[in-house]
Amino acid sequence: MGLTTDVNPEPDQRELDQISPNWITTRLDFLANWSRSNSLWPMPFGTACCAIEFMATAASRYDISRFGMERMSYSPRQADVLICAGRLPFKLAPVIRRIWDQMPQPKWAISMGACASTGGIFDTYAMVQGIDTIIPVDVYVPGCPPRPEGLLYGILMLHKKIMGESLADPTLRVEHLMGPDGLFRRPEAIDEVSEPFGNSVHQTRSA
Amino acid sequence: MTTDQAAERATTPDVGEASLAATLPALRAAFPGAVVRAMVGNHQAVICVAPAQAHAVLAWLRDDPGQRFNYLTDVTCVEHRDPELPFEIVYQLRSLDRKADLRVKILLDPDGPLRVETVFDLWAGADWLEREAWDMFGVVFVHHPDLRRILMWETYSEGHPLRKSFPLRGRWSRSEQTRQALADNPEAQYSLEELSISEAYRALPKDMVERLAAHPREQAT
């Protein structure tokens, strides 16, 4: 247990050749990332007022078809990016988890708005305190709700992130499944998001 | 507003007063001692009735030719901080024929069981409204055909959230709440019972009707 000292500090040269980028793989990366980032089909998960802003983003004035996103995937199996627009009650937690599990790789997630990212003003018994306790999130868009410009900025940040990906990275396309305890993250990490008020034992308003 | 309109408004009786005047004397005559309180607030007639006679009073309000409250707008529950009588079951009635509104309240004893008779047999629309009052406040509607949770999921284990004694963030820690929520099967939210009592039953596909017929619940429907 703990740190071991017998790890070979010199990686095997053949292994290094396989994963280290060369001219071919970087060109392939660029091509794959360029095509992926310019045809991100969104899986809209609109639960609240953020979804209205998302609709405005999709409509003609802001027009996300400029980014190849006009094709809304109402089936998770043809979707690339899950956009959670709005608060997520606990009752919908298994739903968004199942949708995320049904989306094929490569896939990304955007958490749109204060409620999806942190629970927002809904620090109550019914609300998930941030969807990153349920699924992995790539980009958080702040705002209540974010204006379409905000969401577009988040999409452009996701483009940037995708352009930095590499086919040689073996950790990139790993599915983040639920653990044996039925949770996606460590329980302490989930309890932490309710700080500084804590759970019911410490909360300031009750009875 | 012209002076004619102002004068007309001054002489026209308040809608709440008019509704109370049309109902209260007849109700007192039909059910002596059933009316606990009666008042008008915000142009709304309110009648508080004794819990034991509530169902009979509501049936009378629906069927009496002088009343004809044929539309149930809402059933809900209120918990006040008043320590003596904190619980009220509220029925908001509307007579579409007479264009009159009436609010009927049942004041429940907090020490006794929170139980009232269902009005599902009088107004079928009370079904989901009473389920919501059960889910949020824990009031048992006796003889309700399908008293299950409706807003929270069916395996929700923290209690009835709108009670004053319920902590705002729930009883369990956030991780436990997340674990229980994720363990729920989202496809179990709509049960076969729910489908079988819906009015669309006859319009369902044939194989679904057969599956429902094999279900014990269907025998009672």
Mutate to test the interface with A, among B164, B172, B174, B190 (most CBs of A within 10 A): B174
Q: Is residue B56 within 8 Å of B31, Cβ to Cβ?
A: yes
Taking any CB pair shorter than 8 Å as contact, residues of chain B touching chain A are: 152-153, 158, 161, 164-179, 181-186, 189
B173 inside domain: no
Lowest pLDDT segment from A13-27, A174-188, B160-174, B184-198: B184-198
Neighbours of B85 (CB within 10 A): 13
Q: CA nearest B169: which of A50, A44, A149, A126?
A: A126
pLDDT in tens, B170-188: 888 888 889 988 888 776 6
- Strand bridging mode B44-49 / B35-41: antiparallel
Q: Which domain holds residue B90?
A: 8-151
Please give the mean pLDDT across all residues of chain A: 83
Specify if A197 maps to a domain: no
- Distance from C-alpha of B114 to C-alpha of B134, rounded to nearest angstrom: 10
- In the block, tokens 């896939």 appear at A107
In a domain, B56, yes or no: yes
CB contact under 8 A, B167 and A200: yes
> Residue A10 has what pLDDT?
62
Q: Which of A18-22, A152-156, B31-35 has the lowest mean pLDDT?
A: A18-22
**Record: contact B169-A182, CB cut-off 8 A:** no
Summarised one tens digit per residue, pLDDT across range B114-123 is: 899 999 999 9
How many CB pairs (< 8 A) connect A and B?
Answer: 92
CATH number at residue A137: 3.40.50.12280
A70: domain range?
38-169+181-192
Residue B35 sits at the vertex; the CA angle it makes with B32 and B36, to the nearest 5 degrees, is: 130
The CATH number of whichever domain residue B111 belongs to comes to 3.30.460.80
Residue B216 lies inside a defined structural domain of this protein:
no
Given an 8 Å threshold on Cβ–Cβ distance, is A199 in contact with B169?
yes
CB contact under 8 A, B174 and A90: no
Q: Pick the more confident residue, A39 or A191.
A: A39
- Please compute the mean of the pLDDT values over residues A41-70 and round it to a whole number: 91
Domains in chain A: how many in total? 1
CA distance B163 to chain A (A): 9
**Residues in a beta bridge with A86:** none
Residue A13 lies in a domain: no
Helices A23-37 and A148-163 cross at an angle (nearest 10°) of: 160
pLDDT digits (tens, 9 = 90+) for B133-165: 999 999 999 988 878 888 888 788 888 999 888
pLDDT (0 to 100) of residue B157: 86
Q: Pick the residue of B135, B151, B169 with the most A CBs within 10 A to test the interface with A by mutation.
A: B169
Q: Which of A94, A129, A197 sits opposite B182 (nearest CB)?
A: A94
Phi, psi of A156 (to 5 degrees): -65, -35
Q: From residue B189, how far is each of B33, B152, B193 by CA, in Å?
A: 44, 10, 11
Evaluate whether residue B215 is within a structural domain: no
Measured between CA atoms, the residue of chain B closest to residue A92 is B186
Average pLDDT of every residue of chain B: 83
Best-predicted range by mean pLDDT (A129-138, B9-18, B208-217): A129-138
- Give domain status of residue A142, yes or no: yes
How far apart are alpha carbons B45 and A107 in whole angstroms? 58
How many domains, chain B? 1
Assigned domain for A202 exists: no
How far apart (Å, rounded) are the C-alpha atoms in residues A131 and A122?
13
d(CA A115, CA A117): 5
Predicted pLDDT at A43: 93
- For the purposes of burial, counting CB atoms within 10 Å of the CB of B96, is it exposed (0-12), middle (13-18) or buried (19 or more)? exposed
CB contact under 8 A, A90 and B181: yes
User: Cβ–Cβ of A94/B166 closer than 8 Å?
Assistant: no
More confident: B212 or B176: B176
Q: What is the ipTM of this complex?
A: 0.77
Per-residue pLDDT at A166 = 83
